[in-house]
């Protein structure tokens, strides 16, 4: 199974400041079609998860452009250019290269 | 409105069975693969099972293989998971999620709680 490791697990951020979350996979998520099968999700308090980024760097519909994803192979990053209060919650990376699909442990973003 | 609505959760004794349903609306259900994902109390997300758009190909996490069965009725726009031989560790909120292409879950239901306890 592919192991997904996120860091940090807790991320206090001042509003207006940038934030960055790392996700590493135990094996490459680069498919031979040249896509990285790595997604980012945000689970806001009391809500279901929502898709932020798919295929490593493609923002989902309706996601603000302050969110961006980058990386390839085994190292990926989610960046928020300027954190807003509504961004609090737990962020998960997930690979879908093969089954079993696995998620990272989650990174809890809180506002300072 | 594109929507997934789970139902069927509840309290069940260890060793018991439960069938969860996920009703889809607002999109052409038969065109999409679907997944079940669960989240234990205070814990992270765990993938459970996958079914392709036609209901032919299925996949399971090792922790549920042989006990859970995923299925779908495209005429009824509904996804199911039959859960047998339930264990304490199956206690979780169960979400259904649409595979929106590129294997990403673009639509999630609100979840249904399953509690396995004597």
Residue B101 pLDDT > 90: no
Cβ neighbourhood burial of B22 (10 Å; 0-12, 13-18, 19+) = buried
In chain B, which residue's Cα lies nearest the Cα of A47? Answer: B110
Q: Which residues of B touch A50 (CB under 8 A)?
A: 108
Closest by Cβ to B44, choosing from A96, A100, A106: A106
The model's pLDDT over B56-75, given as tens digits with 9 standing for 90+, comes to 999 999 999 999 999 999 99
A57-83 mean pLDDT: 97
The model's pLDDT over A8-47, given as tens digits with 9 standing for 90+, comes to 999 999 999 999 999 999 999 999 999 999 999 999 999 9
Closest by Cβ to B104, choosing from A43, A51, A104: A51
At A80 the pLDDT is 98
Q: Across the interface, do A41 and B105 touch by the CB < 8 Å criterion?
A: yes
Count CA atoms closer than 13 A to B44's CA, side-chain side: 19
Cα–chain-centroid distance for residue A89? 12
Return d(Cα A24, Cα A107) in angstroms, integer.
13
What is the nearest CA distance from B33 to chain A, expressed in angstroms?
13
The alpha carbon dihedral of A74, A58, A21, A41 has a sign of: negative
Residue B103 pLDDT > 90: no
What is the nearest CA distance from B89 to chain A, expressed in angstroms?
18
Looking at chain B, the number of H-run helices and the number of E-run strands are 0, 11
Q: Which residues of B touch A92 (CB under 8 A)?
A: 44-45
Residue B76 pLDDT > 90: yes
Residue B102 pLDDT > 90: no
At B67 the pLDDT is 98
- Where b means 16+ CB within 10 Å and e means fewer, B24-60 reads beebebeebbbbbbbbeeeeebbbbbbbebebeeebb
How many C-beta atoms lie closer than 10 Å to residue A3's C-beta? 11
B94-112 mean pLDDT: 95
Closest by Cβ to A103, choosing from B44, B103, B106: B44
Q: Across the interface, do B103 and A50 touch by the CB < 8 Å criterion?
A: no
How many C-beta atoms lie closer than 10 Å to residue A102's C-beta? 21
């Amino acid at each position: 199974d592919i192991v997904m490791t996120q860091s940090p697990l807790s991320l206090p951020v001042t509003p207006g400041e940038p934030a960055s979350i790392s996700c590493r996979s135990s094996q490459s998520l680069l498919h031979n079609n040249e896509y990285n099968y790595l997604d980012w999700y945000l689970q806001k308090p009391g809500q279901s998860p929502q898709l932020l980024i798919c295929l490593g760097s493609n923002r989902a519909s309706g996601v603000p452009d302050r969110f961006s994803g980058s990386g390839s192979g085994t190292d990926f990053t989610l960046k928020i250019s300027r954190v807003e209060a509504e961004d609090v919650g737990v962020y998960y990376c997930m690979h879908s290269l093969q089954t079993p699909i696995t998620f990272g442990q989650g990174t809890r973003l809180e506002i300072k | 409105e594109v929507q997934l609505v789970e139902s069927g959760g509840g309290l069940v004794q260890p060793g018991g069975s439960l069938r969860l349903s996920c009703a889809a609306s607002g999109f052409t259900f038969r065109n999409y693969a679907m997944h079940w994902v669960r989240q234990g109390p205070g814990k992270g997300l765990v993938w459970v099972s996958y079914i392709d758009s036609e209901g032919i190909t299925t996949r399971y996490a090792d922790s549920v293989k042989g006990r859970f069965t995923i299925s779908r009725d495209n005429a009824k726009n509904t996804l199911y998971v039959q859960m047998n031989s339930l264990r304490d560790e199956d206690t979780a909120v169960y979400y259904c999620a649409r595979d929106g292409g590129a294997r990403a879950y673009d639509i999630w239901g609100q979840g249904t709680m399953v509690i396995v306890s004597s």
